[in-house]
Structure 1
């Protein structure tokens, strides 16, 4: 490709129609080679910048990338990732899981419901799904299998519950959407809170339905009454996690701190919690910092590549071209919205959510605004769609996270099969958000 540029091949002679086909064709071919998305997008951006505009276009790419990585709100991402990494290495999540026995001990399907409640609290503490699924895979899955839960139900609860961090604030997906769409992250947090709880309640209802309609899928409740002293001891496991949630989300919703400031409060709070519990060590902090560096580095590199290619594509006139194609499919705004949801759903089966957000939102959000829809509401729809992508085959990351800690006899095929009912519940939740925008506290139009 670069040799063609050296001999003066002018890509702009192709026109925007064939230029768009060539750009996306190169993306697909290079991705099929196994090259990481960040490097694929950077390479294609460089090829088209030089081939379409010449060397003078390169500074325009770097300026766009610089504006992305220097955004103040983006500072909250490493803070929330650090919170999740510290949780991974402490006993806070384990004690939280044990404390939830107070709610589930006498209920059919109680441990599965307990897992969903723990997932909601963990999501409200960090907003990272990978760590949650691994934690629940280590804590909840062995216990449910040992007690005699249906294997598919146990697997689905862990994966779907652990993926709730996509919807429940402080979700990293919402933060990236806010950056890409240039909308208030705090407003996104407020709008997504109830839909996240709604989805969690769908999971609980499904568990109860399985428990009472197919009794053999769950064990009988424990008939032994828990002593009061043990209940008090378990309650202590709720104190520190709830304090972190209250300080982080309370400071945001109360207008006391911005999302970035609240993320720093949360990170400091989780580290302080490990100190209070006597678990803090420099090895713990170093391991958490290295995990944070790896995760955020991946997000930054994907963001750099996506920002570069979208910037070049915009200069080519590609965004206007794609926008006209999408708008041209129908005169009915709802059909255009559903078409966007379909595109996101298909992309979610093959690409990382960060890349999807940064590649599609610069095109989709202006269309949404032109159609008269609220971009905050669309942000909640986007996150619910990405929630589906975390579970959907063939590359649903939730399945691979669980596979890394699941017993050897559980295959990826078993996991994806177990996730199908939960994907159905997510699609129902997405449909409800489209039909009834007021669930987010926004009219939608």
Structure 2
């Protein structure tokens, strides 16, 4: 009966979220409701909830999670300081003579914005507003154009510094500790956000490379979809303008990631450096005003509050779910699947992919990963590899119709003349590329694990 209640709790939360109820209050409220029912029916021990105050204090005292508001502040500040506009304009001139040059510009700028901001929604909307009208005006195919914008906008999921990787790093660290205790290891090794940043670097760059190869193939095999800009319409490359647009963001990215890779700063310290650097960049461009600072502070507060409220609700859910025996049930199911650890891994990845249709990455990270993470890690999977694979998987679900969040973001700024079916058609090749990247990373795990091993011996 208790295990049935755990399954019913999970299904009820998914249904409530699909109905549009606030995530944090749905997680916490449903958990409390089921806990009350469980106490009345004798299927839940209320002493499980005594651990909640310690968990909440742990969240408030968690230095790793302090990186979230810093990275959010950095991203929102860069969004307000016209970095994307300047980059796109400069890159469009640089690739003006290349077939599909505008699409290549969007891809590269999207990757740079991903490494600068790490906020998917902001990147997709910003790039949609700036680039889509120009691409359509130049005769680009609407499906390929919208697909490119959606795909490059989601690179913020995997290219560090990524909010997804920050949250996943904290959850995977806890899951790894639990897994080692299950295996009888009482002096456990740790996995950090920095490890995930380093592990995701090569797959993220490979993904950008695969996108570019696909766009070049379309430009040369189907030139009517990504036509070359006529010579008389091309603008001369303004090298000083290009350098002014390109160098400051690259320096900021280099300072943030370089300090982490070199071991000179923790991800939280690097995030603080990025926040200060974003303000300095805005000041240097003459885009820093008191009004904009107030907007950035308000946006940062709203996003950070949402993340931490969801984390509190997820903590309450995980306690109640564990109290009903749900974790033991899932462990038994995964352990008895055909194929052993590989079968369990594939099932978990499929479930995460499907949940990505209806849940945001924050809910999946805080609700699903803490349940399945310790089980998979106790089976012997590498925590850095598993964390990056989950991040890649979540990025794929962000693109997949009919519920891909990136599609919703772009639909809001796309002209009504472009049907939603065209957007679905446009993202299909990029979904295939994402799946290909997952397969490559599965067959060659060294793509993820090599750099952390070289830098940190992990």
TM-score, length basis structure 1: 0.92
In 1, Cα distance between equivalents of 2:118 and 2:7 = 36
The higher relative CO (CA closer than 8 Å, separation ≥ 6) is in: 2
| Conserved 8 A contact 1:108-1:211 | yes
In 1, Cα distance between equivalents of 2:165 and 2:15 = 30
State whether structure 2 residue 98 is matched by structure 1 residue 107.
yes
State whether structure 2 residue 176 is matched by structure 1 residue 168.
no
Runs ≥4 residues deviating over 4 A: 53-57, 224-228, 442-445
CA drift at 1:322 = 0.8
1:46 aligned to which of 32, 35, 41 = 32
Match of 2:378 in 1: 370
Moved more, 250-259 or 94-103: 94-103
| Conserved 8 A contact 2:143-2:423 | yes
CA drift at 1:333 = 2.0
1:82 aligned to which of 73, 89, 98 = 73
CA drift at 1:383 = 0.4
| Conserved 8 A contact 2:157-2:164 | yes
Match of 1:260 in 2: 268
In 1, Cα distance between equivalents of 2:14 and 2:414 = 32
Match of 1:146 in 2: 137
1:30 aligned to which of 16, 36, 40 = 16
CA drift at 1:349 = 0.9
| Conserved 8 A contact 2:384-2:449 | no
For residues 337-360 of structure 1, the C-alpha deviation after alignment (integer angstroms, 9 at most, x for no partner) is 111111111111111111111111
Q: How many equivalent pairs are there?
A: 430
Match of 1:4 in 2: none
Match of 1:285 in 2: 293
CA drift at 1:295 = 1.6
How do 1:313-392 residues align onto structure 2 when only pairs under 5 Å count? 313-392=321-400
| Conserved 8 A contact 2:99-2:226 | yes
**Aligned CA distance change for structure 1 residues 276 and 35 (closer, same or farther; 3 Å):** same
Moved more, 156-165 or 417-426: 417-426
CA drift at 1:269 = 0.6
In 2, Cα distance between equivalents of 1:440 and 1:287 = 37
CA drift at 1:62 = 3.3
CA drift at 1:115 = 0.7
State whether structure 2 residue 141 is matched by structure 1 residue 158.
no
CA drift at 1:246 = 1.0
CA drift at 1:56 = 4.6
| Conserved 8 A contact 2:349-2:393 | yes
How do 1:98-247 residues align onto structure 2 when only pairs under 5 Å count? 98-101=89-92, 103-182=94-173, 183-223=191-231, 227=236, 230-247=238-255
| Conserved 8 A contact 1:163-1:387 | yes
**Aligned CA distance change for structure 1 residues 397 and 44 (closer, same or farther; 3 Å):** same
**Aligned CA distance change for structure 1 residues 414 and 304 (closer, same or farther; 3 Å):** farther
**Aligned CA distance change for structure 1 residues 343 and 141 (closer, same or farther; 3 Å):** same
In 2, Cα distance between equivalents of 1:390 and 1:331 = 28
State whether structure 2 residue 88 is matched by structure 1 residue 97.
yes
For residues 411-437 of structure 1, the C-alpha deviation after alignment (integer angstroms, 9 at most, x for no partner) is 433323321111111111111111110
Structure 2: gaps (5+ residues): 174-190
Classify the secondary structure of the residue corresponding to 1:216.
Answer: coil
| Conserved 8 A contact 1:403-1:410 | no
| Conserved 8 A contact 2:6-2:325 | no
- CA RMSD in angstroms, aligned pairs only: 2.0
CA drift at 1:276 = 1.1
CA drift at 1:195 = 0.3
In 2, Cα distance between equivalents of 1:227 and 1:366 = 56
State whether structure 2 residue 423 is matched by structure 1 residue 436.
no
| Conserved 8 A contact 2:158-2:204 | yes
